[in-house]
A and B are shown apart, each in its own frame.
Chain A
């Protein structure tokens, strides 16, 4: 009981440390990078006197010493206040909150498709030749830019065959092509890892025992092989989440969908520093949460991890 509490406290501390680290890096980066945020905010065409600029600086607290700014910044973060967007004149939490839904929908659907695809390939593709072909396809998918895959799917299935609408958000069918686009590279990576785990399991001594009992190849894959594959793919969860987030920026641009990707892109082009900071912190948070879930789920899949953790021996 006590060990569990200590572990929970440790995990909570690591969450806070990662978020604080990300916030500090973002703060430092924006102080080190040359360029006056106020001039950037106003745009290159603005004809504004220095006095007005000084006024804006005082409003934003940019005229105070860096140390003081840092303390205020971290203090606001601790209260969940991310500041106000330079461009949209809205609280950052609201800017992000409004666009979170579509991106979340897209990402979750893409992850689902990816997992189903990867599992199907792992279970149904067998034999040397079949696996070589699957590996080849995975290589090509992983080497193709995700935005190009999206454009090819668009021109074939939307413009060519007319099966799906081209863009827009009203029609639920519009999410299909973006989700598949986003899912393909993730599925390719996942299926690679799953297959590596399967092949390794097939070479282990216990595989011989299972076969000797008279179990069929599919039974072996379903009951034993997948578990080995899943153990290694779970550790990739954070990476996969990252590739979905990065991919979402590209896919939302390709399909002209609303979402965090578009907010991110606009914030980068406009140098909207509070929004960029907010998105970096959100990504850090997602990363930490995914890692936490992995920590908790990994021992359930792989008993060997459980043994080393509770036993304390390495």
Chain B
């Protein structure tokens, strides 16, 4: 079981490494220009020349998927990173706030947490209006509640942990003891959760783009490429199927890494 787990972990890391490489240097992996149209080569099935086939305007789907990695991975990392920091600050504040304030904050947070991320993100886009920047904001906001909750619980436990009490007895000022000894511990727990969060943010962002609320054509974005294939699904399944596989593989990898890390962290704690 241990061995199988290790194999799974490294397989997931390898997959994410390839996708990260595609995100950073898409030109190396792509076989063509993601925006180059060629009407004579429209709707060609996958072949050695066009690995994932071509779309209605003859663009190479494989190259578009490769160039789309940056946007999806970027929004996943950015949304998760910002959500983590916001969650840490709000959660830590709630953790040290007076009881009434804490209870009110957690009540609101629990309501937000009761909804799936995609629905929260959709409501935020409904309020802000469509657009690529707005979907990034929406996906980030939707991710925040989970971190707030965990940061608050962790702050509450760590505040009275032995090493923090010891630091206080040694004469470390209250604020310094908090930033040096409580916050790093909370951050550690949150970052394990964040690995899983990257996957769900990518999913939510792809969903919003698919609905046409995000970036517009001809941007190579996984959700958008998928949506583009919807109308010609009967003749060209490859346009929609391959970007979907890219999303699934990325999200599965991030989730697997996150779950294994979490299991290890839990095992160490108990």
Cβ of A163 < 8 Å from any Cβ of B? no
Contact B244 A144 (CB under 8 A): yes
Complex Cα gap A255–B203 (Å): 19
Specify which chain B residues have a CB less than 8 angstroms from the CB of A287 in the assembled complex: 114-115
Contact B247 A242 (CB under 8 A): no
Beta-carbon contacts under 8 Å, B213-270 to A: 213, 223, 226-227, 229-230, 233-234, 237, 240-241, 243-244, 247-248, 251-252, 255-256
Contact B210 A145 (CB under 8 A): yes
Specify which chain B residues have a CB less than 8 angstroms from the CB of A151 in the assembled complex: 226, 229-230, 233, 240-241, 244
User: CB-nearest residue of chain A relative to B234?
Assistant: A159
Contact B226 A147 (CB under 8 A): yes
Specify which chain A residues have a CB less than 8 angstroms from the CB of B248 in the assembled complex: 140, 143-145, 148
Q: Which of A70-78, A85-93, A224-232, A261-269 contacts B (4 or more CB under 8 A)?
A: A261-269
Cβ of B116 < 8 Å from any Cβ of A? yes
Contact A148 B247 (CB under 8 A): yes
Cβ of B128 < 8 Å from any Cβ of A? yes
Specify which chain A residues have a CB less than 8 angstroms from the CB of B241 in the assembled complex: 148, 151-152, 155
B127 to chain A, nearest CB (A): 4
Contact B129 A271 (CB under 8 A): yes
Complex Cα gap A291–B226 (Å): 35
Complex Cα gap A191–B238 (Å): 31
Complex Cα gap A138–B129 (Å): 33
- Chain B contact residue count (CB 8 A cutoff): 40
B228 to chain A, nearest CB (A): 11
Contact B127 A243 (CB under 8 A): no
Cβ of A239 < 8 Å from any Cβ of B? yes
Cβ of B126 < 8 Å from any Cβ of A? yes
Specify which chain A residues have a CB less than 8 angstroms from the CB of B128 in the assembled complex: 33
Cβ of A253 < 8 Å from any Cβ of B? yes
A140 to chain B, nearest CB (A): 6
Specify which chain A residues have a CB less than 8 angstroms from the CB of B130 in the assembled complex: 268-269
Complex Cα gap A160–B116 (Å): 33
Q: Which of A140, A155, A245, A269 contacts B119 (CB 8 A)?
A: A245
If the complex has contacts A148-B244, A159-B233, are A143 and B252 also in contact, measured as CB distance less than 8 A? yes
User: CB-nearest residue of chain B relative to A159?
Assistant: B234
Contact B126 A139 (CB under 8 A): no
Complex Cα gap A249–B127 (Å): 16
Cβ of A30 < 8 Å from any Cβ of B? yes
What is the interface residue range for chain A against chain B? 35 or more
Cβ of B145 < 8 Å from any Cβ of A? no
Specify which chain A residues have a CB less than 8 angstroms from the CB of B122 in the assembled complex: 246, 249, 264, 268
Contact B119 A243 (CB under 8 A): yes
B135 to chain A, nearest CB (A): 11
A163 to chain B, nearest CB (A): 14
User: CB-nearest residue of chain A relative to B114?
Assistant: A238
A146 to chain B, nearest CB (A): 8
Specify which chain B residues have a CB less than 8 angstroms from the CB of A144 in the assembled complex: 244, 247-248, 251
A259 to chain B, nearest CB (A): 14
If the complex has contacts A143-B199, A152-B244, A269-B212, are A242 and B207 also in contact, measured as CB distance less than 8 A? no
**Which residue, of A238, A242, A268, A287, has the highest number of chain B Cβ atoms within 10 A?**
A268
Contact A140 B206 (CB under 8 A): no
Contact B115 A239 (CB under 8 A): yes
Cβ of B123 < 8 Å from any Cβ of A? yes
If the complex has contacts A143-B251, A159-B233, are A29 and B127 also in contact, measured as CB distance less than 8 A? yes
B255 to chain A, nearest CB (A): 6
Specify which chain B residues have a CB less than 8 angstroms from the CB of A243 in the assembled complex: 116, 118-119
Cβ of B169 < 8 Å from any Cβ of A? no
Complex Cα gap A104–B241 (Å): 29
Contact A147 B234 (CB under 8 A): no
Q: Which of B111, B199, B233 contacts A154 (CB 8 A)?
A: B233
Contact B116 A242 (CB under 8 A): yes
B1 to chain A, nearest CB (A): 9
**Which residue, of B111, B116, B210, B256, has the highest number of chain A Cβ atoms within 10 A?**
B116
Binary interface encoding of chain A residues 6-47 relative to chain B, with 1 for a CB under 8 A from any of its CBs, else 0 = 000000000000100000001001100101000000000000
* 5 A-B pairs with least C-beta separation: A148-B244, A246-B119, A143-B251, A29-B127, A155-B237
Sampled A-B contacts (20; CB under 8 Å): A30-B127, A139-B252, A139-B255, A139-B256, A142-B255, A143-B199, A144-B251, A147-B207, A147-B210, A147-B227, A148-B226, A148-B240, A148-B243, A155-B233, A155-B237, A247-B118, A253-B210, A268-B125, A269-B130, A291-B114
Chain B positions near chain A (C-beta within 8 angstroms): 111, 114-116, 118-119, 122-123, 125-130, 199, 203, 206-207, 210-213, 223, 226-227, 229-230, 233-234, 237, 240-241, 243-244, 247-248, 251-252, 255-256
